[in-house]
Structure 1
């Protein structure tokens, strides 16, 4: 790293952002969303969509967490990747904290390559944090854990997702009888304990109901951040957040992801700002 690419401190960054609001605004320029905004289904359309959302977040002063979905930029090839790089830089310049939703997970040098791409501040694709898939084995993610230690970048490891097929893997039992998702949670918590800071977190769907309790996972006692997709348009509300996350929700550890609930306000800047402010206020109110 050069002096121009300082070490990240995601543990401090997410806590400061969540103190403003736990709302995490998704940046998902899929074809239908671009069409609803009157934008072309191109990299240029995705750029305009993303910049408007980032500007609305920054101007509202109510949301400092943003989560671009890499797939919706990757589909445009190199032009889309260039847009993603631009948006990550723009978000950082605006004081926003970025969680890049890439769900990478591989072994050996391949995982190390992903870590170089998304976790090294010298890379134009580096975000403040990224999502990882542990289902080649949590141990296979060691290059990402090593990069987190080296660069201060955050990681969110998939634990309990709300898609129906997820339970077949995540609820399965290891030879010692522990649920796979519980093993993921244990190892991520151990990383935070070793780091001495809440730098690594879990992805847990806000619509999973009592699954965590049934699998013996104490989300209320988890030390790090919990990224919770599913709020709003996907069906979860305050009751679901309180039920799934318990004390962690009350303490402000749950980063509540909302994409369509924000972007469906339309492209008008003032309408977007009002929607962000309203959702941010609602989530804080939901926490009591």
Structure 2
């Protein structure tokens, strides 16, 4: 079974407009699908692949060579590690914000609703917080907020209440237990979609994904050379909104700031007005790509 099939592969690599001597960053190495293609286009250039997952680190061994360096770190530490390697500016940055198929298909990682396994969901196996910790220790109002904001779950309040009542009699340890505990909250006929939203909320919280994404985007704008490209593939509206706002205004909320002369103060300019989405062929071959949106921006 393949580790992970990269989404929007041709489109994202094309969007980077790769220069053979340029410096590129794949901040979400995963199975290395995007990285392999980027590296193949470099001559004296360099590619740095970031990932906090030990499994991704093993995949990276296949690529180690004169043009590639693997960095075992969360992409929120982008600038710190580039400084460590003596890199001040880069020509392009790619971020594919999805969970890899490998992570989904490994039951003990706890990412998928399809398997029973521990309530884990850590992208970094050395991370402190797991989904089990959240479900068993968070206050009801915090769970309510979490499911409502990160999961966009309709009955978030009822769901939070149910979790708190169930855990009072038995600690929630496995995916099976959790699904059973919240069975009464699942809307008829839409169980899978609902569970996917709940699991998304937990995963985002476990890995502090939204905050990490904000930090990475801000740093990307700082390290890109003028004319350098930022290419981001997102899979849900929360991420896409952050990326879109940042490209449009240089901020995550509110309107773009202007200087004394009325010129917009923002680091990036959108290259494509509308996000690029997978082709009919790709959708047929890889249904995981169905919610993918690709946005491209250039450093001003």
Shared fold (TM-score greater than 0.5)?
Answer: no
More helix by share: 1
